[in-house]
Structure 1
Amino acid sequence: MQNEKAVLNLNSAAWRNLARYGETKGSEGQRRGLFVRRKVIAPLLSLCGRMQQGLFREQVQALSSDAAADRPVVITGHWRSGTTHLHTLLSLDPQFTFPTTASCMNPHAFMLGAGKVAGAAVKRPMDEVMIAGDSPQEDEFALLAMGARSPYEALLYPRHLADALSLADPDDLSEPERRAWQETFLFFTRATSLLGGKRPVVLKSPTHTGRVGTIAALLPQARFVMIRRNPQEVFESTFRMWRSMFDLYALGPPLADDGLRQVILDNRVVMERKFAAAAARLPAGRLAYVDYERLVADPLPELHALYQTLGLDSSFLHTQALADKLERDRSYTARRALPPADWQRRVEKVWTEFF
């Protein structure tokens, strides 16, 4: 196992969730560091979380009756489908607010000031995209850190990726776990809105693709976006993503390459079927589709269609801020690698409906 390069700020509940995955490997020094994280830092983070909840609970709960604030835009789509690119674009629109990297990595105290730390920009481990503390970030990291069951538990224990991915849909959890997930999700989403001037939140996480039904039940005015990209490129890029994330966070033994690819292949089918079932029940005007290739090649028509479908104020699409961002993006070229030939055939067969 490689030396740990990064840590996640997990509270005590999150560590209890991870305890079922078995013994952690590593040197004596690594085990001592892990002991400190579990027995010293985690209780302190739990205490911060309780203080945060106590101070802001009433203000956050009051947003449940605020029709404007309680209408998030939720970006879904498989990993490496362009969710981050779309999230970044929509987060520039001043009618919205969004979770930042700082708030998602420090969710226990982000309302107490920890979410205001910007920090220096760094490259993401799986690509050349630069992120800073104030960059838009996927809220799944916050849910994991706050103790909600999450597929990202596998970041620390890669061999359990298949089991962890089965945690994505709260409807598949035990009743106590489901309630905890719902409460954590609602608090973080509404708290993000509160800090952002009670504006609607733009959320993005591939894990939400299989949760559309749950989120729509919790937030009936929520709007959803599904972004799709060339499946072969998505498959191989997702493989690289998990590998890089495991290198960054793993405490347990690795998952073999073919095993990882098989999990990716199988999981998308489950995720997409859950999405399709929930999408069919959404009212008109609550779901928009975006094609990644068109968004990159000719972004404005794709964005106009999204805004029109969801009934959003499109003033932002005519601003210099967006024009400047799109101009800067022209210099970025996403890596376009394909899987090995035998896996290309499997992807084409199993993911045929996604081509």
Structure 2
Amino acid sequence: MTSLTTPSPAQNKPAKKPKMNDYPWYSPRFWHALRISDWCRLLARHGFRVHPFKLPMAAMITATTPFNSAAALLQHLWFGSYIERTRVEQPPVFIVGHWRSGTTLLHELLHLDSRFATPNTYQCMAPHHTFVTEWLIGKRMGWLVPKQRPMDNMAAGFQRPQEDEFALLALGAPTPYARMAFPNDVPADYSDVLNLDEASPADVEKFRKAIVWFAKLITLQTRQKQLLLKSPPHTGRIGHLAQWFPGAKFIHIARSPFSLFPSTTRLWESLDDVQGLQVARHKHLREYVFDCFERMYRGYEKQRNEIPAGDLYELKYEDLVKDPVGQCEQIYERLQLGNFAPVRDKIAAYMQSQKDYQTNKHQMDAETEAEIRRRWAGYFSRFGYE
């Protein structure tokens, strides 16, 4: 078995805040994929409070929205009826778990199985016109995207596997990722959608339409392969996803809360600085991290009981990095995902190629550790981190 142990603290790179020049001005932001109507609604909802320093970025985004609207109309005219008629025959596989819990690593590993259809970054950023533009932009203009993500050392690019949550954002669905545009505004956008049990019926229906449509899109584009989707916010939606996609499989990955909290805080600091239309003050970020976690796991713990036996598998990040091949084989066996043999060597080779990857090192004060233990006590107990 191949093993990749977590680097010791002495090996870890310090968790430094990324600088704006680490993410070039010309690189695409999430908002570059919005259509005119969605862009205007986003600005209006926040009173057009764009910081003067961010006006050039806002101007560039505004300039791209007419293209998105026109290309979206073209895709609708050419392929709309085909997308609507597409049936998702094979139950999707959803990877869930809190941000920074290892969902990306697991996504990268299972993506090595060519039997799965995994949305790439371009498809998730431009779902409303990927059919008509990916051949030009997604496959020939990859230099626009930095080689690494702004919040960690993971590889990035238009053709890399990506979270479907970004596609839902581009489609105008209610998603908490919209808060990154105006990170200083309180309350944050659509936090209640982290647990669909607590969302309004109207938002639930908007969300359902968006994710079902996107699932049809990728199914059609990949000729009926089984979907492999990953999104941390889906953690508190699994019961609803199971209803919309009968037979769907779920893989939940857990990680020590003492790693989750500082790493998630850094994630939002990075994304708010890079994606925000305001100069982020991060004044309410600490409470936002706590609140999101609690919302997600209220939904997860209730809805997991609605998932049929054999359709949900839980593992720990620490076990995955210790024995990636063995853990992935367990996933295939428990969820009946087919023959594991064809992907075994691919996973081993990938992990060998990542042997020099270094995780970020975080430090916390005793007060923060105590608050994490108090507020997330159920997670400590539930997943064996006591």
Considering the TM-score relative to the shorter chain, is it more than 0.5? Answer: yes
Tell me how many residue pairs correspond in the alignment: 349
Deviation at 1:299, TM superposition (A): 1.1
Quick check: 1:224–1:287 contact (8 Å CA) kept in 2?
yes
**Which residue identity does 1:25 align to in structure 2?**
V
**Which residue identity does 1:218 align to in structure 2?**
W
Deviation at 1:354, TM superposition (A): 1.5
**Which residue identity does 1:296 align to in structure 2?**
V
Q: Give the aligned CA root-mean-square deviation in angstroms.
A: 2.4
The answer to whether structure 1 residue 7 and structure 2 residue 17 are counterparts is no
What percent of counterpart residues are identical?
31
**Which residue identity does 1:51 align to in structure 2?**
L
Distance 1:32 1:227 in 2: 39
Deviation at 1:318, TM superposition (A): 5.0
Structure 2 gaps, min length 5: 1-19, 381-386
Deviation at 1:36, TM superposition (A): 5.8
**In structure 2, which of residues 318, 321, 335 is the aligned counterpart of residue 296 of structure 1?**
321
Distance 1:161 1:177 in 2: 19
* Correspondence 1:329-344 to 2 at 5 A: 329-344=354-369
The answer to whether structure 1 residue 221 and structure 2 residue 244 are counterparts is no
SS in 1 for 2:117: coil
Q: Which piece of structure 1 moves more, 233-242 or 182-191?
A: 182-191
**In structure 2, which of residues 117, 131, 144 is the aligned counterpart of residue 97 of structure 1?**
117
Quick check: 2:58–2:277 contact (8 Å CA) kept in 1?
no
Deviation at 1:267, TM superposition (A): 1.8
Quick check: 2:50–2:278 contact (8 Å CA) kept in 1?
yes
Aligned to 1:139: 164
**Which residue identity does 1:292 align to in structure 2?**
Y
**In structure 2, which of residues 55, 65, 73 is the aligned counterpart of residue 31 of structure 1?**
55
Distance 1:138 1:339 in 2: 29
Distance 2:147 2:341 in 1: 27
Aligned to 1:113: 133
**In structure 1, which of residues 46, 50, 70 is the aligned counterpart of residue 73 of structure 2?**
50
Q: Which piece of structure 1 moves more, 182-191 or 291-300?
A: 182-191
Aligned to 2:227: 201
SS in 2 for 1:158: coil
**Which residue identity does 2:93 align to in structure 1?**
V
Q: Which piece of structure 1 moves more, 242-251 or 48-57?
A: 48-57
Deviation at 1:78, TM superposition (A): 0.4
Distance 2:204 2:132 in 1: 27
The answer to whether structure 1 residue 307 and structure 2 residue 329 are counterparts is no
Aligned to 1:67: 89
| TM-score for both structures, normalised by structure 2 | 0.83
SS in 2 for 1:224: strand
Distance 2:129 2:197 in 1: 28
- Does the C-alpha gap of structure 1 residues 49 and 180 become closer, same or farther in structure 2, counting only changes over 3 Å? farther
| TM-score for both structures, normalised by structure 1 | 0.90
Distance 2:54 2:316 in 1: 44
**Which residue identity does 1:31 align to in structure 2?**
L
* Higher-RCO chain (CA-CA 8 Å, sequence separation at least 6): 2
Deviation at 1:142, TM superposition (A): 1.3
**Which residue identity does 1:79 align to in structure 2?**
W
Distance 2:198 2:64 in 1: 30
Deviation at 1:264, TM superposition (A): 0.6
Q: Which piece of structure 1 moves more, 169-178 or 186-195?
A: 169-178
